[in-house]
């Protein structure tokens, strides 16, 4: 996915660059770069997440995700990264972002998807698209942290990227070379998320 211009600078996104797939339920899913007007839609998506999903994504038991976090989700490009959203109809149902760390060849990645959309392959689609975007910008590997109890997400990442990890204080510290990232199978929901 390449941007036709800077979405944050107020230019519109070239619709030819928007990925479109169909979920197993035949609903059209579009993936595109976050645009300046998406913060309210991101807030609505996060409000639809279960407490468990919020805890697993943000590693904190927020009753509501703070506004500064929502701003950060919408502004990854300001931090030498990118943010993508998965959209069904007019609603955001998933979000992925990366921010470069250290030498710029690695980037911390994060994904979130509405609970109802997790088994439909939104995470897999977003991970594939954000990995392609990052590779195109010279990122060689994604890094990140998962809570030790989040074995489902670890299994998803192992199946999608061939991730390496170590366990430290009940956290999985991840490193996933992007050269190993696999395209999702047709139909998208091979193992969910």
Q: Where are the domains of the chain?
A: 7-180
Fold topology of 7-180: Aminopeptidase (3.40.630)
Q: Which of 17, 44, 18 is nearest to 30 (CA)?
A: 18
Per-residue pLDDT tens digits for 93-105: 999 999 999 888 9
pTM comes to: 0.76
Contact 86, 27 (CB under 8 A): no
The rounded distance, in Å, linking the Cα atoms of 108 and 72 is: 13
Beta strand pairing call for 141-147 and 106-113: parallel
Q: 185 Cβ partners below 8 Å, 6+ apart? A: none
2 or 104, greater pLDDT: 104
The rounded distance, in Å, linking the Cα atoms of 102 and 176 is: 16
Average pLDDT over residues 72-77: 71
Banded model confidence at residue 89, pLDDT cuts 50, 70, 90: very high
Cα distances (angstroms) measured from residue 87 to each of 62, 136, 139: 24, 23, 25
Average pLDDT over residues 144-169: 75
Query: According to the model, what pLDDT value does residue 19 have?
Result: 53
Contact 117, 93 (CB under 8 A): yes
């Amino acid at each position: 996915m390449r941007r036709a211009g800077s979405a944050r600078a107020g230019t519109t996104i070239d619709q030819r660059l928007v990925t479109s797939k169909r979920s197993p339920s035949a609903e059209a899913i579009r993936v595109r770069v976050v645009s300046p007007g998406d913060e309210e839609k991101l807030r609505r998506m996060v409000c639809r997440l279960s407490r468990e999903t919020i805890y697993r994504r943000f590693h904190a038991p927020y009753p509501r995700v703070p506004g500064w976090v929502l701003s950060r989700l919408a502004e990854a490009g300001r931090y030498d990264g990118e943010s993508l959203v998965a959209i069904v109809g007019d609603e955001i149902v998933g979000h992925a972002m990366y921010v470069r760390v250290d030498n710029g060849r690695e980037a911390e990645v994060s994904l979130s998807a509405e609970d109802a959309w997790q088994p439909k392959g939104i995470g897999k689609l977003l991970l594939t698209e954000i990995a392609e975007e990052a590779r195109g910008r010279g990122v060689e590997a994604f890094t990140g942290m998962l809570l030790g109890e989040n074995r489902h997400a670890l299994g998803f990442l192992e199946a999608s990227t061939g991730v390496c990890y170590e366990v430290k204080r009940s956290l999985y510290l991840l490193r996933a070379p992007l050269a190993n990232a696999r395209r999702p199978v047709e139909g998208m929901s091979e193992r969910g998320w």
